[in-house]
Structure 1
């Protein structure tokens, strides 16, 4: 009888653990400290994620491609990363979709190091150079490859080096490991404020993005496996509600007010610099989480310019995002 009771108790305990694991929702962020992914941490800091009543855990990976891998392996239910991954994954036979769109521009730039400034005046000069990206297969890699291809520079004619963001990107540039590279705030301001780098291509606003890429480029979003979304609609709705509420907060508050809600380590020891960068780039965020019109078509056009996984494939853009949840958000 004792053995039976122990076995039953163990079984019940395992059932409880499995239930807990099933209830936990993990969202991987492709670099939590990056300003482009601000809505993720801000939603947590404002208490909006807790208000959902769900057990939501935010985890950070240095590059979006690493976060994507975590989701595909089942270690996470969602990714805060770039929308372009949904198209690339569909071309590879994996269905995922953006459920809330954070931004309508990449919020990134290509920086050229002070040492390479005289040798790189445009993407046409990428030939023979080493360019930094957050990770191979990341959106910074996608966009760098497109800008090179647009300038008639083949991928085989330059080297891309995964260097992450923040201090690791700054170190790579300072040590001469990369001549130029694509990164985001607050890394941009940390390098340009000291004269260590200058901006070559600016994708921080809708206007500059359209000039460089040919149209609106929806970037940061929350994307999830289509199968998981379809089988967990109540949970997805609660999560989207929290993020839409956060986007409205960003749209109706100053950069200073927003920054006050963030942990001090987000400022990289210079709070005012972070505030100034956010004030300049705040317009990249959508006000309501809705996918920008014509945005998906621009992303497909960009990927078709260099991505061999996408080229020649029929991509169903309508299945790469949904507005069902943002339209129902309260």
Structure 2
């Protein structure tokens, strides 16, 4: 029995229509793709990014989040401004710095209320007893224009030095920072965990200024200092409110997890190479510094004012500029988080 050409054509058309319906249905439910640049995702200060991924919270929100690693926050910021990524996991101070340059960027989720940074001094240089002794020294920072550079400049100027009295050397973090100190390319430098613990354990460095806790931060900087955050261009946030809300939902859940679980439980969720061969040291450092994270992603009261005051101490970009702090962060999404 022959099958008519018309029937075959109709059947083929029906199959195509069905396939098209399935395809469009798949597209409708596909996860939204968002790319975030992290200023060194092995750093404990930026732990919420990798933890949210490990816990599956991005997927729970229907997001396909790609995390890219960039050791220096200033380079991550440039990637975002160029449109290569939608957001940055980095320090809030860039939002203020960029407004002074005519660019509007806002912290959407505030991860921490202390920098989690330490100024370490090489034990080869016992003459460095305070920031006033930075004169003539080479000081390690992650990158020029980075938050570690901002904080280093502030501490030096606060101690009575001029910016030309010392040299900021971009050395990244981890192995590159450690090598720079071992080779005496830097005599002191600002870094985070787990780099801090690694150098303290070997006795190659000692702590000069500790900003891992809220108390230490207030002593060094004069107030609560909102640091690690998810920041994005204001225009992108306005145009993508649904995706921004989903990101806020995932990160607020992550911050709650950090606040309700032990350092050991959190460490178990992280890639094993982050321990750098010393899991106990990693867990201890996380336990000691865990209080820097906010419980809900909300900007701490008075924090933006402290950051503006710190940056205004040394930054020529900010001098004579009117900064609208209300445009450097938003609490709308974290307060609506599920």
For Structure 1 versus Structure 2, the TM-score category normalised by the shorter chain is over 0.9
Aligned counterparts of 1:165 and 1:262: Cα–Cα separation in 2? 18
The equivalent position to 1:148 in structure 2, one of 144, 156, 169, is 156
**Which whole-Å deviations, capped at 9, do the CAs of 1:292-325 have from their partners, x for residues lacking one?**
0000000000000001111110000000000000
Normalised by the length of structure 1, the TM-score is: 0.93
2:202 aligns to what SS in structure 1?
coil
2:316 aligns to what SS in structure 1?
coil
Are 1:255 and 2:266 an aligned pair? no
Match of 2:211 in 1: 203
| Unaligned runs of at least 5 residues, structure 1 | 1-15
Are 1:279 and 2:279 an aligned pair? no
- Number of matched residues? 313
**Which whole-Å deviations, capped at 9, do the CAs of 1:168-188 have from their partners, x for residues lacking one?**
000000011000000000000
Aligned CA-pair RMSD: 1.7
The equivalent position to 1:178 in structure 2, one of 178, 186, 190, is 186
Match of 2:136 in 1: 128
Pair member with larger Rg: 2
Aligned counterparts of 1:217 and 1:59: Cα–Cα separation in 2? 25
| Unaligned runs of at least 5 residues, structure 2 | 1-23
The equivalent position to 2:101 in structure 1, one of 79, 92, 102, is 92
Are 1:38 and 2:42 an aligned pair? no
Shift of 1:23: 4.8
The equivalent position to 2:90 in structure 1, one of 61, 81, 92, is 81
Aligned counterparts of 2:55 and 2:133: Cα–Cα separation in 1? 44
Shift of 1:24: 2.5
Shift of 1:161: 0.3
Structure 1 residues 151-166: aligned runs within 5 Å: 151-166=159-174
Match of 1:295 in 2: 303
Match of 2:5 in 1: none
Shift of 1:112: 0.2
Aligned counterparts of 1:150 and 1:241: Cα–Cα separation in 2? 39
Structure 1 residues 286-325: aligned runs within 5 Å: 286-325=294-333
Normalised by the length of structure 2, the TM-score is: 0.91
Deviating above 4 A after TM superposition, structure 1's stretches of 4 or more consecutive aligned residues are none
Aligned counterparts of 1:247 and 1:55: Cα–Cα separation in 2? 20
Shift of 1:44: 0.3
2:34 aligns to what SS in structure 1?
strand
